[in-house]
Amino acid sequence: MKLAVFVSGSGTNLEAMLDFGIPVSLVLADRDCEALNIASTAGVATILLDRRHYSYSSGQKWLDEDRKEFTKAILGMLKRHEINLIAMAGFFSILHQEFFSHSRPHIINIHPALLPEYKGQFAVRDSLTASNKLTGSTIHIATEIVDDDRYIIAQTKVPILTNDTLETLWERIKTEERRIYPKILQSILSGDINLDAIVQRGNKSSFSDKISESL
């Protein structure tokens, strides 16, 4: 399998993968970001497809056709680099559904909450303002449904402390993410985790419990 990591931000999950020895063939970003520097320093090929160049139909707002064009450009890059496994690690663009029908089930994402709780970009803030005392992170197969909770591969729990701020809580979540994401990718690459089987099973419970316990 040839792995590409999709990024938009600080890239600490990407760095953890590289430190762990995960063979990353390509890093693709939708904006200029620190993750690209991490990739370049490690000698990994990078592609920057600035999403702002794809918001031409309305000037500013992203319309469906912009999303489609952007997605088409990404699919072209992946084909050129013969990528067949994608790990999203803080990638902020929502791609067109064509992307998922094309690559499913070989797209993995990490979300900073215990799905199905707290979907969306404000997951950490939402978990902090809720009365819950527990949150965490979820690694799952990504589909056209944003933060889809049907195909969970692994989850890790993180307590919410009374004096937590957005920053302290998110950093503790990310510490856990950096611990589990490389291990899960290694298991996918070695064949110990079979993504097709997870989709066929279509039920998150028994499989994810087993994996989470062994992390």
Query: Which one, 33 or 189, has the nearer CB to ligand GRF?
Result: 33
- Please provide the DSSP assignment of the chain as one string: --EEEEESS--HHHHHHHHHT--EEEEEESS--HHHHHHHHTT-EEEE--GGGG-TTTSSSPPHHHHHHHHHHHHHHHHHTT--EEEESS--PPPPHHHHHHHTT-EEEEESS-TTSS-STTHHHHHHHSS-SEEEEEEEE--SSTT--SSEEEEEEEEPPTT--HHHHHHHHHHHHHHHHHHHHHHHHHTSS-HHHHHHH---HHHHHHHHHH-
Nearest distance, CB of residue 12 and ligand GRF, angstroms: 3
132 near ligand GRF (CB under 6 A): no
Chosen residue from 67, 96, 111, 140 binding ligand GRF by CB under 6 A: 111
Query: Which one, 14 or 74, has the nearer CB to ligand GRF?
Result: 14
155 near ligand GRF (CB under 6 A): no
182 near ligand GRF (CB under 6 A): no
For the window 34-73, what string marks contact with ligand GRF as x by the rule CB under 6 A? -x--------------------------------------
- The catalytically annotated residue of 96, 106, 111, 140 is 111
89 near ligand GRF (CB under 6 A): yes
Chosen residue from 4, 5, 74, 112 binding ligand GRF by CB under 6 A: 112
148 near ligand GRF (CB under 6 A): no
174 near ligand GRF (CB under 6 A): yes
Residue with tokens 């999709």: 6
Give the interface with ligand GRF as residue ranges (CB under 6 A). Answer: 9-13, 35, 89-90, 110-112, 137, 173-174, 177
